[in-house]
Structure 1
Amino acid sequence: MAKTGGTGKKADRKTSTESRKTETRTADGETQTTRIEPVRKAEGKVDAFRELSEDVARGALATPPMLLTGESRRHHVRATLREDHAARIEDREPDARKKFDILAGDLFKFFRGTALLFYRDLAGHDAGMPTVMALGDVHPTNFGVMPDRNGAPIFGVNDFDEAIYAPFTWDIKRGVTGFWIAAKSEGDLSRKKRHKIVRRFVEGYLDAIERYAERPTERNESIRYHNAPKVVRRLFDEAWTERSGWLHEDYLNENRTGFRPTDELQPVSTEIETFQAAIDQLAASEGFEHPPRAGALKVKDVCIRHGQGTASLGLPRYYVLIEGPTQDGSDDLIIEFKRARRSALAGLTPPSTFDAGDKADRIAHAQQVQLAHGDIFYGAVEIWGDSYMSRERAPFREDIDLGDLSNSTWKSYARVCGAALAQSHALSDDLGQLDYDIEPSIAAAASPRALFVADMQRFAEEAADRLISDHALFREDHELDAFTSIDMFYR
């Protein structure tokens, strides 16, 4: 892992314990100092939830947060979101407030941006189910078109920020809930139609798993334009853009020598040396194949990218411009570096011997496992003492526009996403840490199929109803500025 230098400085953190004092003037004009008891930040609950997960996994009696109601549930939601965003709140990141505003205004985005809240309700569950390299945040817009290792477009899972080894059912449960909520909030579809969409997602997954159990082709397959279903082929068509025009219209200054300053892009050319060191270390990492389209891997410019993402909104994110082979700005590459954090599933999954690593190392491992033909620029480096993940931005990186889906295309899209997830899980024993064939175990654990599908449909409906209630509690608290500070412990 690289530790890179540079001119960027990190603000000193406040100590976790502070003594406060106030000064008042007495009647004779003297100043009197009164010291208030020390105050410290409230402890994070990662260890407490790890213990809860272990208790639930071994069958001990425990009260999971999904059973909380009323004010108890409100305080759980509030504390969880404060804890999950503590660093961003303390650093007073402008995008942190923006994220809470976005979450308040959209139920589906609230679901996408609160994975920790979702998984704390699952702490320790499904301990007997087969473990896979799980994506961790499955929903309709975390599949899409992206570059493969050769820079050509493929379709598949495309967000590994929460990835971790976990029961395969956790990805299924997150996925069916995401499709259920999105089909309602983005498609305004009836409950009956949402049940059918969820079923298609699960069936697409199980059909692919059973196929891989009979014929292990998962490592050689990929969804490309020629073999994609119609709904995804349309996505390929919409995604395609010429690199030169994409760079000129969205990123480069008029001379094509660097980034153009906009509301979203803030050039920081002083950090070229820092990110050149990061690129050099990425290129020196095991398994990296220097693509000819990346020229000499020379960094031309760096910018801060503001306002991107949903769950990651408010985390530092940089775009790095790499000079292309022609050196005229028409074929440059853009590599994104985003500060990584702990997975929302950490400490919540049933105990296992599998370990994907921490922060950016974990994310890079997941991408290497789950996307057999994936982006060569996925990696992990350390910058200014923090863990950063990297990936290529491409002209054809594109997610589905859910508003364009009809009832029939919702079902078709759900099915292909289920199949794509199955492929990523099936690779857990090819490129991951599993030392046995995972597909037969998943197929057996999901039997009888009709019961498994019905269980997932019921789970989606119940989890969505709980989320609607949580969203209402969050919106009320947000109106009262509940998320402008973190929880503190007062002695």
Structure 2
Amino acid sequence: MTVDGGARASTVLDPGAVGPAPPLTPTRRRAPAQVHLLSRNERESRGSAARVLLPRESLADVGTATKRPDPVDLLVSQGQTRVPELLPLRYGRMSSSAFAFYRGAALLMASDLAATPDSGLDVQLCGDAHMSNFGLYGTPERRLLFDLNDFDETLPGPFEWDVKRLLASVEIAARSIGAGTKERRRIATDVAKAYRTAIREFAERPNLEVWYARLDVDDFLREHGGSLGKAQSRTTQSTVKKARSRDHLRSVEKLTEVVDGRRRFLPDPPLVQTLEELLGDQAGAFRAAMGELVAAYQATLQPDRRHLVGQYRLVDMARKVVGVGSVGTRAWILLLEGADDRDHLILQAKEAQSSVLEQFLGASEYTQSGQRVVEGQRLMQAASDAMLGWQRTRGIDGVERDFYVRQLRDWKGSAVIEGMRPEGFSRYGGLCAWTLARAHARSGDRVAIASYLGGSKAADEAFADYAAAYADRNESDHAALVAAIGSGRLDAVHGV
């Protein structure tokens, strides 16, 4: 385990390891702007100067399609560091729709973004800010917030990369539900405007007010619930109720069973595979050794939370398939027992590979990718999981891999994007845009970004143009994946 890039422990974790990631060759590095040393006027001038580097109408540029890498080749390159037997699941999930493909294609978009000029106004990027990576979760204070919830690709970079990722997802998802061209255009410009007006509002606020800003779900519903409409109100209330039911007790009930007097994870291959399925007779010894994982990971927690986790012991592990783009990375669920057999906690240890942005923006300042994810999440979220930490482990093949650790479920919930009605898209997209603006305002020069975007709709229209053009490209890339599966180039498992 590495906390500061120094000493490492040799904890064993990964029975499915296939080899280390190839070394990165960053094309550029960025020095963060010392915003606190600049006056407001100087920061506004930074934004005005950025219009020379990247005129706002140029935000519509998706780059040439003739010289870009083959999209299937890029996806295959990612598979080289993933669990081979899980890749058909990934390709099957991505092939199911253009929006599902987009969710797993962060590397493709990063490659495209890097081929076009940027503003030079850097923030902490989410790196994968599509609509499905926003949702509900519980804070340590037991409040339900709406926020970004996926930071696997987080890295500093130009603010507009996140905005373009969000806007393209809005366009792609709107197409999936049959919204017409004019309606999609209205939705896209509304969402772009929501980001622009939010960042301009944050630019006028004091630092502490920006830092404390959050979208509390109960407060939002009290203030805006009456304007949602009956159908949207019912859907929202159902999502909130479901999120609050997804706690650690529900996870234990759903994922485990008692075997010979001891609680163990239920097998559900290929989505959940127990240690016995993966390791056979070696499972018991491996499980016993994994107590080191929890002990070492605790060093990355705050002292009070370290004390809390220290009251639990590890009793079982299983490998669990998660997400769409993440399929094939190594994700484990850890069953911990506290005072007795009625006191359980389930953690998730998810592999953190290099961000897809690093080969274009330069290597992270953190040598441990799990720490990169955690520190980026803590910076961008209004409040983060009390159990959030990181750990470096060594697999039985001798390969060290980085993981970040969090609770498996803690009031987590999300909207079904492809099941939304058109009238709900602008409002939901606006919430995502406000949330993204707040995250960028915390980590970057919000005054300069606000100055760059300005008070007119020029940037809104350009972002909407980009979204429409990139949605066309995404459809073409999705078709290429479907063709690769149909020709037998790639194996795919559907419906899992």
Q: How far apart in 1 are the matches of 2:202 and 2:423?
A: 26
Name the structure 2 match of 1:262. Answer: 268
Q: 2:90 aligns with which of 75, 80, 99?
A: 99
- The 1-side partners of 2:198 and 2:376 are apart by 20
Q: For 2:326, what is the secondary structure of its paired residue?
A: coil
**1:260 counterpart letter in structure 2:** L
Residue 22 of structure 1 corresponds to none
CA distance in 2, matches of 1:261, 1:338: 19
The one of the two structures with greater contact order (alpha-carbon pairs below 8 A, sep at least 6) is 2
1:247 and 2:251 equivalent? yes
Alignment match, 2:193: 203
- By how many angstroms is 1:456 displaced? 0.2
Q: What RMSD in Å do the two structures reach over aligned CA positions? A: 3.2
Q: Secondary structure at the match of 1:67?
A: coil
Do residues 131 (structure 1) and 122 (structure 2) align? yes
Which of the residues 122, 132, 142 maps onto 1:141? 132
3-state DSSP of counterpart to 1:290: helix
Query: What are the superposed Cα offsets for residues 244-292 of structure 1, whole Å, 9 maximum, x if unpaired?
Result: 7513541121467232223333232634344422222222226353178
Query: What secondary structure is seen at the aligned counterpart in 1 of 2:386?
Result: coil
Partner of 2:337: 323
Q: Does 1:340 align with 2:352?
A: yes
Aligned with residue 479 of structure 1, among 472, 476, 486 = 486
Higher helix share: 2
**CA distance 1:414–1:479, change in 2 (3 Å):** same
* Alignment pair present for 1:86 and 2:92: no
Query: CA separation of 1:256/1:224 partners in 2, compared to 1, >3 Å: closer, same or farther?
Result: farther
- Bigger CA radius of gyration: 1
Give the one of 383, 389, 394 matched to 2:393. 383
1:402/1:159 CA distance change after superposition, 3 Å? same
The Cα of 1:124 is off from its aligned counterpart by 5.3
Once the two structures are TM-superposed, the CA of residue 347 in structure 1 deviates from its matched residue by: 2.5
Find the counterpart in structure 1 of residue 311 from structure 2: 296
| Contact 2:301 2:389 survives alignment (8 Å) | no
Partner residue, 2:65 = 68
Contact 1:165 1:356 (C-alpha < 8 Å) held by counterparts = no
Aligned residue for 1:470? Answer: 477
Alignment equivalent of 1:412, drawn from 420, 427, 451:
427
2:217 paired with 1:220: no
- Tell me if the contact between 1:246 and 1:395 (Cα under 8 Å) persists in the aligned partners: no
Looking at structure 1, the residues matched to 139 and 347 of structure 2 have their Cα atoms a distance apart, in angstroms, of 14
User: Displacement, 1:476?
Assistant: 1.5
Paired residues, what number? 429
1:240: how far off?
1.8
CA 1:383–1:13 in 2, change beyond 3 Å: closer, same or farther? closer
Q: How far off is 1:104 after superposition?
A: 2.0
Is 1:50 the counterpart of 2:60 in the alignment? no
Deviation at 1:224, TM superposition (A): 2.2
The alignment's TM-score, normalised by the length of structure 2, stands at 0.78
* Contact map agreement 2:11 2:293 (CA 8 A) in 1: no
**1:160 Cα offset (Å):** 0.1
Q: Partners in 1 of 2:29 and 2:247 — Cα distance?
A: 50
| Alignment partner, residue 32 of structure 1 | none
Q: 1:112 aligned to 2:94?
A: no
| Residue among 159, 168, 175 paired with 1:168 | 159
Question: 1:424 pairs with 439, 442, 456, which one?
Answer: 439
Residues 251 and 482 of structure 1, relative CA distance in 2, 3 Å threshold: same
Question: Would you say the 8 A contact 2:251–2:409 is kept in 1?
Answer: no
Q: In 1, Cα distance between the equivalents of 2:435 and 2:417?
A: 18
* Shift in alpha-carbon separation, 1:324–1:156, aligned structure 2, 3 A: farther
Q: Which runs of 5+ in 2 are unaligned?
A: 3-7, 31-51, 55-60, 226-231, 276-282, 395-399
SS at match of 2:210: coil
Matches of 1:356 and 1:11, distance apart in 2: 22
Three-state SS of the structure 2 residue aligned to 1:344 is coil
Distance of aligned partners of 1:360 and 1:203 in 2 relative to their CA distance in 1, 3 Å threshold: same
> Is this contact kept in 2: 1:176–1:201, CA < 8 A?
yes
TM-score (norm 1): 0.79
The answer to whether the Cα contact below 8 Å between 1:143 and 1:417 also exists between their aligned partners in 2 is: yes
- The answer to whether 1:372 aligns with 2:397 is no
Inter-CA distance 119–283: structure 2 relative to 1 (3 Å threshold): same
Deviates more, 1:152-161 or 1:470-479: 470-479
In the alignment, is the contact (CA less than 8 A) between 1:294 and 1:322 conserved in 2? no
Is residue 2:449 matched to residue 1:447?
no
Q: What is the SS of the residue equivalent to 1:413?
A: helix
The CA distance in 2 between the partners of 1:452 and 1:378, in whole Å, is: 36
Moved more, 202-211 or 442-451: 202-211
Q: Describe the shift of the 1:126–1:245 C-alpha distance in structure 2 as closer, same or farther (beyond 3 A).
A: same
Q: Which amino acid aligns with 2:485?
A: H
How far off is 1:420 after superposition? Answer: 0.9
**Counterpart Cα distance in 2 of 1:296 and 1:223:** 32
- The alignment partner of 1:219 has SS state of helix
- Find the partner of 1:311 among 325, 329, 335: 325
